[in-house]
Chains A and B, each alone.
Chain A
């Protein structure tokens, strides 16, 4: 009896170690609810729709989670998302090859990420403030330069269209990017020395420093990666819609943080996984599709996400005492 209890409790504790468990259960629970409301919910096309909807947010959430685990925020991802895709659209309209536009967009994002890192680390201020300022600064420039009007891609650019091209059955290539990037970042976090440093830098920066880890360098790299991911997501949106609004991506920063937290990441850093954040983004996509199929007005979805976020926060606290 004692022995079986011990093995049970050790199994339970190893289950509790899986941070993604909560979000996984939520995905299954939502699937049960929505399929009861509309049997069409469990089908390949609706799965494809969820994945496509999740892709843009998910790619941003991967970068945001990677940075959050290192103990920093990035609220400027929505502005980077808009600015870099707008730069790409301008360059394409000027007749530049796609490769130039693509690299320029990611390069701009890398510079903004680097600026966020330098201001936060050298200035010694919380990244919440740095990136909130950066968010408004970039958004202000975009609104001023465009006068509030959208920028439309004015010539056919097959390479751009390929980024988010439909494959079959409602699936899009953007869904593949999302899954590949989630796997790559998850491996980087859990199976490389660098991932070990990221977790240590976010979990206990002083300890990391005492053990010889270059805390500033790790944070800087993650700021840059986070920004680049936001730009890539913006390019996918540009590919999909062939137009970019100066106000695009305004809700992205908080939605990405929500996806990461729902997936088990801690706002305090050091805790969480990329798989969790990606599943969190998928759950948001699932709720969107589920509500549409259930015939509810699409606006309901953000209310759902709100409730989910709070529940996830409470579950995370119970699991690791770190929300």
Chain B
């Protein structure tokens, strides 16, 4: 459990859906406080990998090691309890429910009244107000329906929820895809704050430039196989795009890392 051990290690993860092999033995390491950009074309297996990490899917084979111990998540609730949270593109929050009900969904603050437990609405609303102020969403009532908020506000609230509940690893699935440029900037700024708090992030995005602005490491998946895993500064965003589009051999970039590693040794 020293800070030297990686937070999360995936070893040879395989996942099949019927005849389709979505992941063909993917290994991945995420260190503490590290932001990993997970990129790849549609159908590369990014979302499947994310859903396996959070217990939404179970791998057919392979190991998941979290904080040095092998884990097996049977449901997202298991992963959440360990401190792994995912913020989905469009399904992080329930649009018809108020902000405070969303923030505490399945983690409701309750008070006892005889044999019954009731929601402690006052406390939840108070904490919600604080949290909204912390992430710079002003003049918003905790009672307002989430569906009435902007996409950026929703994304920020979903991330803030993960942080509030002590997440150690936050997975962001296309956090900026539905946002305006200014809203994207705010969310990316927010991702940097997570890193500064020592929280690890896996960011899945089609927007390589957004990934570049926050990631420490870039991982490229291609049809269920990891074809590249390098520190961000090893390659330019354009080169990564070329790798994803099969215009550039990933080995050429991977070689740079091996060379760089050999020099100090």
Q: Does B233 contact A (CB under 8 A)?
A: no
Binds B, one of A36-44, A111-119, A140-148, A208-216: A208-216
Contact of A320 among B92, B96, B121 (CB under 8 A): B96
Contact B97 A199 (CB under 8 A): yes
Contact A207 B118 (CB under 8 A): no
Q: Which residues of A contact B108 (CB under 8 A)?
A: 193, 196
Q: Which residues of A contact B141 (CB under 8 A)?
A: 10
Q: Does A240 contact B (CB under 8 A)?
A: no
Within the complex, the shortest CB–CB distance from A19 to chain B, in Å, comes to: 10
Q: Report the Cα distance A208→B56, complex, angstroms.
A: 12
Contact of B76 among A13, A211, A271, A322 (CB under 8 A): A211
Q: Which residues of B contact A211 (CB under 8 A)?
A: 76, 80, 105-106
Most buried by A among B78, B86, B104, B118: B118
Contact B75 A212 (CB under 8 A): yes
Q: Report the Cα distance A271→B94, complex, angstroms.
A: 11
Closest residue on chain A to residue B91 by CB atoms: A207
Q: Report the Cα distance A320→B95, complex, angstroms.
A: 10
Contact A210 B56 (CB under 8 A): yes
Within 8 A of B (CB), among A168-213: 187, 191-193, 195-197, 199-200, 203-204, 206-213
Q: Does A270 contact B (CB under 8 A)?
A: yes
Q: Which residues of A contact B96 (CB under 8 A)?
A: 199, 203-204, 270-271, 320, 322
Q: Does A7 contact B (CB under 8 A)?
A: no
Q: Does A156 contact B (CB under 8 A)?
A: no
Within 8 A of A (CB), among B69-116: 75-78, 80, 86, 88, 91-97, 101, 104-106, 108, 110, 116
Closest residue on chain A to residue B86 by CB atoms: A210
Q: Does A155 contact B (CB under 8 A)?
A: no
Within the complex, the shortest CB–CB distance from A185 to chain B, in Å, comes to: 14
Q: Hey, what's the 0/1 contact readout for B141-180 against A, CB within 8 Å counting as 1? A: 1011101000000000000000000000000000000000
Contact of B94 among A10, A187, A199, A214 (CB under 8 A): A199
Q: Does B248 contact A (CB under 8 A)?
A: no
Contact A204 B75 (CB under 8 A): no
Q: Which residues of B contact A212 (CB under 8 A)?
A: 75-78, 80, 106
Closest residue on chain A to residue B119 by CB atoms: A191
Contact A193 B110 (CB under 8 A): yes
Q: Which residues of B contact A199 (CB under 8 A)?
A: 94, 96-97, 101
Q: How many residues of B sit at the interface, in one of the four size bands?
A: 20 to 34
Within the complex, the shortest CB–CB distance from B79 to chain A, in Å, comes to: 8
Within the complex, the shortest CB–CB distance from A213 to chain B, in Å, comes to: 5
Most buried by A among B93, B94, B147: B94
Contact of A193 among B78, B91, B117 (CB under 8 A): B117
Within 8 A of B (CB), among A208-244: 208-214
Q: Report the Cα distance A137→B153, complex, angstroms.
A: 49
Most buried by B among A199, A207, A209, A211: A211
Q: Does B240 contact A (CB under 8 A)?
A: no
Q: Which residues of A contact B121 (CB under 8 A)?
A: 191
Contact of A209 among B76, B78, B101, B147 (CB under 8 A): B76
Q: Does B38 contact A (CB under 8 A)?
A: no
Within 8 A of B (CB), among A117-137: none
Within the complex, the shortest CB–CB distance from B98 to chain A, in Å, comes to: 8
Q: Report the Cα distance A210→B56, complex, angstroms.
A: 7
Q: Which residues of A contact B194 (CB under 8 A)?
A: none
Q: Report the Cα distance A191→B120, complex, angstroms.
A: 8
Q: Report the Cα distance A211→B108, complex, angstroms.
A: 12
Q: Which residues of B contact A14 (CB under 8 A)?
A: 143
Contact B106 A207 (CB under 8 A): no
Q: Report the Cα distance A119→B75, complex, angstroms.
A: 22
Contact B118 A210 (CB under 8 A): no
Q: Hey, what's the 0/1 contact readout for A249-292 against B, CB within 8 Å counting as 1? A: 00000000000000000000011000000000000000000000
Q: Which residues of A contact B145 (CB under 8 A)?
A: 17, 320
Given the known inter-chain contacts A203-B96, A207-B93, A322-B96, please indicate yes or no for A196 contacting B76, CB distance below 8 A. Answer: no
Within 8 A of B (CB), among A13-72: 13-14, 17
Contact A192 B119 (CB under 8 A): yes
Contact of A206 among B91, B106, B143 (CB under 8 A): B91
Within 8 A of B (CB), among A50-104: none
Within the complex, the shortest CB–CB distance from A31 to chain B, in Å, comes to: 30
Within the complex, the shortest CB–CB distance from A175 to chain B, in Å, comes to: 25
21 A-B residue pairings within 8 Å (CB atoms): A17-B143, A187-B118, A191-B121, A192-B110, A192-B116, A192-B119, A196-B97, A196-B106, A197-B106, A203-B94, A206-B91, A207-B92, A207-B94, A208-B94, A208-B106, A210-B76, A210-B88, A212-B75, A212-B106, A214-B75, A320-B96
Q: Which 9 residue pairs spanning A and B have beta carbons closest together?
A: A212-B77, A193-B108, A203-B96, A203-B94, A204-B94, A207-B91, A270-B96, A212-B76, A211-B106
Extra A-B contacts (18), CB below 8 Å, given A17-B143, A209-B56, A320-B147: A191-B121, A192-B110, A192-B116, A192-B118, A192-B119, A193-B110, A196-B97, A199-B97, A200-B94, A200-B105, A200-B106, A204-B91, A207-B88, A207-B91, A211-B105, A213-B77, A213-B105, A320-B145
Q: Which residues of A contact B (CB under 8 A)?
A: 10, 13-14, 17, 187, 191-193, 195-197, 199-200, 203-204, 206-214, 270-271, 320, 322
